[in-house]
Amino acid sequence: GEDVEQSLFLSVREGDSSVINCTYTDSSSTYLYWYKQEPGAGLQLLTYIFSNMDMKQDQRLTVLLNKKDKHLSLRIADTQTGDSAIYFCAERRGGGYNKLIFGAGTRLAVHP
Amino acid sequence: EAGVTQFPSHSVIEKGQTVTLRCDPISGHDNLYWYRRVMGKEIKFLLHFVKESKQDESGMPNNRFLAERTGGTYSTLKVQPAELEDSGVYFCASTTTAGLGGTEAFFGQGTRLTVV
């Protein structure tokens, strides 16, 4: 199975909150990331959280981390049509120079 | 300042042909990574350069894939001969000398490779 798992699709109404969930496997991961990919574009870092934190808030974005359950979530408040994209969860593996392990991405569709 | 650029943006080749993808990292970024996303699945790590040296190539699928980074600047990823299962989007990313320690990895827009 995949090391990082996400649900593949989420549909929300404009103005509602979106919650995208992710589970990961490596308890030694030090950083966890959320990337956004808009159509035809590359991956854009939205936010990241250090493993000794439970929550991080940045404007409309709230990241929650449950290390015990290896569960990460991204909440987008007041979701807008411009938030429609694929959201990738990723964990940082390894010491020193290291690499990102990504999930398959969650496609967020925002409708009026 | 230019971001990470990749060329071409799209490539369609026949099975058995050779394709070379290019990545220009952000100027001054020593770390360069190649990733691949196949058929809507997860984005998988391929390899990591520190300057011109291969730091980690554990994700390279097989010996049909050859990555180079001459002079520690741009990098190329050659697939020879290409197979159908090589189709996907190939992403390149770069980071500063500090690597990934909480630092953003800047990604290119990707090269969509289709092997027919």
Query: Min CA distance, A78 vs chain B (Å)?
Result: 26
> Which whole-number Å values give the CA distances from A54 to A64, A65, B5, in the listed order?
6, 5, 35
Query: Min CA distance, B39 vs chain A (Å)?
Result: 10
Residue A112: CB atoms within 10 Å: 6
* CA pair distance A7, B49, nearest whole angstrom: 32
**Contact check, Cβ <8 Å, A45/B31:** no
A45 contact B CB<8A? yes
Of B41, B45, B99, the CB nearest to A96: B99
Rg (CA), chain B: 13
**Beta pairing class for B88-95 and B106-107:** antiparallel
A63 contact B CB<8A? no
* Among chain B residues, CA nearest to A40: B109
For residue A96, the model assigns a pLDDT of 55
* CA pair distance B84, B91, nearest whole angstrom: 18
Q: Which two tokens stand for residue B58?
A: 């554990």
Q: What is the pLDDT of residues A65-94, one digit of tens each?
A: 999 999 999 999 999 999 999 999 999 876
Q: What is the pLDDT of residues A21-53, one digit of tens each?
A: 999 988 777 789 999 999 888 899 999 998 888
**Contact check, Cβ <8 Å, A104/B91:** no
Mean per-residue pLDDT over chain B, rounded: 91
What count of Cα atoms within 13 Å lies in the side-chain half-sphere of residue B72? 12
* CA pair distance A42, B110, nearest whole angstrom: 6
Q: What is the pLDDT of residues B63-77, one digit of tens each?
A: 999 999 988 899 999
